[in-house]
């Protein structure tokens, strides 16, 4: 039987994490996201907050911008977690090692972690990039994070895009947003996210069928 691996790369606010969760639930696949944080924290001997603050970026984007806005009052004091005694490259390599280990053992949906570039390609791997106009993403993250103004939401998205692009370029030498790197690049504002999940399920199943009969 051909192994199933679906990777989802996403812009902030495009709904990639939600889509991944829907796909994993409907297909009975393992959903890989925060487990990588948990295991990396264990192996580095630090807490998950430290790992989360340094994931998918090169410098202090999440501590500096998202930390003070995520859970309510923007003016709330925020003390960033300690950076730890490991480099961004060492953290990336550890996360990639963990990701490969989990994905090799189970059929899965991987959200983020540069899975599209770092996991070994195989016949049952289907790769997706979820993007959307800023107006859609601003509206969506404001529905998730309370007390987030439109101005701050837009600034957060712009900085997230910039930082994630730098991260991907530095860590993988690939263009994060290039459609040629994916089986499917989709504007998630065009239809309900659950319908997009169904589309990905259908296309990935067709790919596995073609691979199995080739």
Interval 34-70: pLDDT, tens: 777 778 778 777 766 766 666 655 444 444 444 444 4
pLDDT tens, residue by residue, 179-209 = 999 999 999 999 999 999 999 999 999 998 8
CA separation for the pair 214, 208 (Å, rounded) = 10
pLDDT tens, residue by residue, 62-89 = 444 444 444 333 333 333 344 456 777 8
Helix (H) or strand (E) holding 50, with range, is helix 48-53
In a domain, 201, yes or no: yes
In a domain, 24, yes or no: no
E strand intervals along 20-165: 30-32, 108-111, 125-131
pLDDT the model gives residue 93:
87
Which residue, 36, 18, 64, is CA-closest to 160?
64
Q: Is this model's pTM higher than 0.75 or not?
A: yes
In a domain, 34, yes or no: no
Contact 91, 54 (CB under 8 A): yes
How many other C-beta atoms can be found within 10 angstroms of the C-beta atom of residue 120?
A: 9
* Burial (CB count within 10 angstroms: exposed 0-12, middle 13-18, buried 19+), residue 115: buried
In a domain, 176, yes or no: yes
In a domain, 207, yes or no: yes
| CATH number of the domain encompassing residue 191 | 3.40.50.300
In a domain, 156, yes or no: yes
CA separation for the pair 145, 124 (Å, rounded) = 36
Which residue, 18, 11, 17, is CA-closest to 132?
11
Residue 56, phi-psi category: left (phi > 0), alpha (psi -120 to 50), beta (remainder): left
Q: In total, how many domains does the chain have? A: 1
Task: Residue 59: give the domain boundaries.
Answer: 5-12+44-213
Which residue, 85, 62, 96, 81, is CA-closest to 171?
96
Strand-pairing partners, residue 31, are 109
In a domain, 36, yes or no: no
In a domain, 113, yes or no: yes
């Amino acid at each position: 039987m051909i192994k199933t691996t679906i990777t989802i790369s996403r812009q902030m606010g495009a709904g990639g994490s939600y889509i991944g969760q829907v796909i994993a639930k409907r297909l009975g696949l393992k959903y890989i996201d925060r487990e990588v944080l948990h295991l990396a924290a264990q192996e580095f001997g630090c807490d998950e907050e430290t790992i989360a603050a340094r994931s998918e970026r090169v410098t202090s984007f999440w501590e500096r911008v998202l930390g003070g806005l995520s859970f309510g009052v923007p003016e709330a004091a925020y003390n960033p977690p300690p950076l730890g005694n490991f480099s961004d490259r060492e953290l990336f390599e550890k996360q990639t090692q963990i990701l490969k280990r989990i994905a090799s053992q189970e059929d899965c949906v991987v959200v983020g972690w540069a899975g599209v570039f770092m996991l070994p390609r195989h016949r049952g791997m289907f790769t997706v990039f979820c993007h959307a106009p800023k107006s859609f993403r601003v509206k969506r993250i404001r529905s998730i994070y309370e007390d987030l103004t439109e101005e701050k939401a837009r600034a957060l998205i712009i900085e997230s895009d910039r930082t994630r692009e730098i991260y991907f370029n530095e860590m993988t030498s690939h263009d994060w947003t290039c459609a040629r790197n994916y089986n499917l690049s989709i504007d998630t504002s065009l239809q309900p996210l659950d319908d997009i999940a169904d589309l990905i399920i259908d296309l990935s199943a067709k790919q596995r069928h073609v691979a199995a009969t080739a």
